[in-house]
Amino acid sequence: MNKSKTLPKRSDVPVEYKWRLEDIYPSDSDWEKDVQKAKQLADQLAGLKGKLGQSGNDLLAALKLQDELLQTLDQVFVYARMRRDEDNANSTYQGLTDRATSLSTQAYGAISYIQPEILEIPTDELEKWISEVSGLAHYRILLDEITRFKPHTLSSEEEALLANMSELASAPNKIYGMLSNADMKFPMITDENGEEVELTKGRYTQFMESKDRRVRKEAFDALYETFGKFRNTIAASLTSAVKGDVFYARTRKYPSALYAALFADNVDLSVYDNLIATIHEHLPLMHRYIALRKKLLGVDELHMYDLYVPIVPEVDMKIPYDQAVETIKVALKPLGEEYGRVLAEGFSKGWIDVYENEGKTSGAYSWGAYTTHPFVLMNYQDNVNNMFTLAHEMGHALHSYHSNHAQPYTYADYKIFVAEVASTLNEALLMHHLLETTTDKAQRMYLINYYLEQFRGTVFRQTMFAEFEKIVHEKEEQGEPLTADSLSEIYRELNVAYHGPDMVVDKQVDLEWARIPHFYRNFYVYKYATGFSAATSLSKQILEEGQPAVDRYLNFLKGGSSDYPLNLLKNAGVDMTTPDPIREGLAVFKELLEEMEQLVSKG
């Protein structure tokens, strides 16, 4: 697309760079039909309340209806939300999203009795039904999982109450999203060419990579000045989200919000704590990288706005979208023909919404419904970072594609713990391809710097986020107040510890917690770090072993939630119950850091 000083309107974006949500519903009227269908299914399920313990056939009927309802709800909500994400100022799709949210709340209230009633069925009786009633064996894994949650499941009436509160519980995230995506406006800044350009969250990364330090600082100051105007509002929003996490954990009798979050994936607390401890042991590597960055940039003081600019200034690597697509296709060839075929389909068949436009949700994600192919939202800028983001999101998309095609709806939705493995593995293979094919010393240094930055951002930075989340939730659990000032103080202390003595931790970055949307998905970000570690190990196996490792990996992608995440990874060849994969990843970081130091020393 042609660049302009201001963002284009949605209607001005060429169709070939838009996703094709018509693949979900050809029109809004078709969406309305499924809304009515969902309401009818919810009514049918409500009519089975109190009957699940009467017979295996009644239980089977309820579980089948639940699958049909949830599958329909997924499709209804995904369509409405992604339409809104195209332009958050579009009142039509604001309305559809609100209706979909309300419908979900009503439907989950209608089915909230199912789990408590199942838990009231005697174990021997349930086993007898599973063996005797045709079709009920399909739900054995689901039923076993429900039984695992028995200590944390309330009465039918209490579950209904919590289900009806879900819309209130999601309010902090919704408020934050509308504030940061629709209402918050950023000022114009002066770019490298002396022209006034509108600052956006999507363009912020590009400005942070600018060779002109003035541009970096101006964008940095403008971004945080804007967020600073809303610091108390955002603090209230985030604190409310944290309070909600603690409330639900306590209500369900979990010892902590962190325990509750990890319990869903059947992951022990030691995995989380080991990550933070292992990273802290290796913080000297991070400090060493920061010192090298300061040296190569030739600055007296290294500031936070100097973290993203390439430290090989003579290399200018602009990657247009179409070039990124072709590069990714080649880089992922080690994953085999089956993977490559689906990948090519995703790039050419309306899966991806490529460019930023006015009102569009910032960032990037992969999402979709079981009945259609996945979709990817991008805000593509012509740089290396966005090429890796594209590869990352397509990793998510193809994970969903393979899972949806291999598993029934009941078990298609893979757990969050493994969600970042496929995406990060794509990044690892892309980096391997680029390093293997790059002979130019300056470009190689640029790519190594990029990998080191990716590692810093994905492992060190996400672990810092994870530690921040752990601290703020523990403070809430201990009854300590959380304010904009206290959140900023916690965040500053972590930045100082993680970045070391060669970094000037600017006061503005104390407020960075206010612009991290992932904090509204409690205890999610640590999975980026564990996922990166698992992906590093798996990519190495694929490159060294070939087809046997590819087969194991594709089976992992197809696993959905048919087994626990740690078991799926172990079958693929990675044991995340030990710190070894994290240490293996850190060893790669150290190796490339040393190569970078050697290349620098050779001049």
Q: Residues with catalytic annotation?
A: 393
CA distance 473 to 495: 18
Query: What tokens does 251 get?
Result: 């209500």
Contact 447, 435 (CB under 8 A): yes
Three-state secondary structure of 413-469: CCCHHHHHHHHHHHHHHHHHHHHHHCCCHHHHHHHHHHHHHHHHHHHHHHHHHHHHH
CA distance 102 to 504: 47
Phi first, then psi, for residue 249 (nearest 5°) are -65, -45
Burial of residue 27, with CB atoms counted within 10 A of its CB: 0-12 exposed, 13-18 middle, 19 or more buried: exposed
CA distance 243 to 140: 35
Contact 199, 222 (CB under 8 A): yes
Provide the β-strand partners of residue 264.
none
Vertex 557: Cα angle to 554 and 562 (nearest 5): 120
Contact 554, 338 (CB under 8 A): yes
CA distance 225 to 227: 6
φ/ψ region of 187 (left if φ > 0, alpha if ψ in -120 to 50, else beta) reads beta
**Inter-CA distances, 233 with 217, 293, 473, 517, Å:** 25, 35, 19, 14
Identify the residue whose tokens are 């309401």. Answer: 39
Closest to 276 measured CA to CA, from 473, 462, 437: 462
Strand 352-353 relative to strand 375-377, pairing: parallel
Contact 357, 13 (CB under 8 A): yes
Burial of residue 426, with CB atoms counted within 10 A of its CB: 0-12 exposed, 13-18 middle, 19 or more buried: buried
